[in-house]
Chain A
Amino acid sequence: AQSVAQPEDQVNVAEGNPLTVKCTYSVSGNPYLFWYVQYPNRGLQFLLKYITGDNLVKGSYGFEAEFNKSQTSFHLKKPSALVSDSALYFCAVRDLRDYKLSFGAGTTVTVRA
């Protein structure tokens, strides 16, 4: 079985400061890892994914994520947060051998001006 943990329900940062949203995963094989963002009253939007290769993955809106196999983590980062980054962020994992994408519980990010 595969699972994702997002240990923080909420992350609050000031605009211009670095933003980190944490994610750890558990799969029996090699993982596909994803980050999605949900703005209020909207569906989820894809930010980035890790399949294989370079551990640092760059995505939309200036976000990046670092895959760390030894720590089974896939933290989302942005060097300088914007107020418009305030949203709900979901980490997701899929085992290579499984069709199902399992989502974490989500982390609400609030960026204050």
Chain B
Amino acid sequence: DTAVSQTPKYLVTQMGNDKSIKCEQNLGHDTMYWYKQDSKKFLKIMFSYNNKELIINETVPNRFSPKSPDKAHLNLHINSLELGDSAVYFCASSQGLGPRGEKLFFGSGTQLSVL
């Protein structure tokens, strides 16, 4: 059983299109995240939801909109895709945000290529 699964694994699309990436976790975690990894492997947080509430919203263009229908799912919708959006997007989850410094469990990533 995959703990954090995201689909699709690969996404190739044209500039200007709208696309979504889905993420599901079966760990019973309260907190989910979206990270972006660029071509130099630099990893940057985009969003985080805790119990379906948005708690981290980094400086990300409005074209990116996360949606959390329930605690187990966090989807990422991207409007009007641009060349610079090409990257690997990782979903992650953790038990919570508390004082134990909960570790993150990552999905295997979605490689987005905008042509």
For chain B, the count of residues having a C-beta within 8 Å of the partner chain is: 25
CB neighbours (8 Å) of B12 from chain A are: none
In the bound complex, how far is the Cα of B57 from the Cα of A99, in angstroms? 11
Which residues of A71-113 have CB atoms within 8 Å of chain B's CB atoms?
88, 90, 94, 96, 99-103, 105-106
Return the CB mask of B24-56 against A: 1 if under 8 Å, else 0: 000000000000000011111100101000011
Query: Smallest CB–CB gap between B79 and chain A, Å?
Result: 25
Taking CB as reference atom, which chain B residue is nearest A107? Answer: B41
In the bound complex, how far is the Cα of B108 from the Cα of A55, in angstroms? 31
Is B43's CB under 8 angstroms from A103's CB?
yes
In the bound complex, how far is the Cα of B115 from the Cα of A21, in angstroms? 36
CB neighbours (8 Å) of A43 from chain B are: 4, 90, 92, 106-109
- B64 contacts A by Cβ under 8 Å: no
Is A90's CB under 8 angstroms from B56's CB?
no
Q: A51-B101, A101-B45 are in contact. Are A44 and B40 (CB under 8 A)?
A: no
In the bound complex, how far is the Cα of B42 from the Cα of A102, in angstroms? 11
- B83 contacts A by Cβ under 8 Å: no
- A41 contacts B by Cβ under 8 Å: yes
| Chain A to chain B contacts (Cβ below 8 Å), 30 pairs | A32-B101, A38-B41, A42-B108, A42-B109, A43-B4, A43-B92, A43-B107, A43-B108, A43-B109, A44-B43, A44-B92, A44-B104, A44-B106, A45-B106, A46-B103, A46-B105, A51-B99, A51-B101, A88-B41, A90-B43, A94-B101, A99-B50, A99-B56, A100-B45, A100-B56, A100-B58, A101-B45, A103-B43, A103-B44, A106-B41
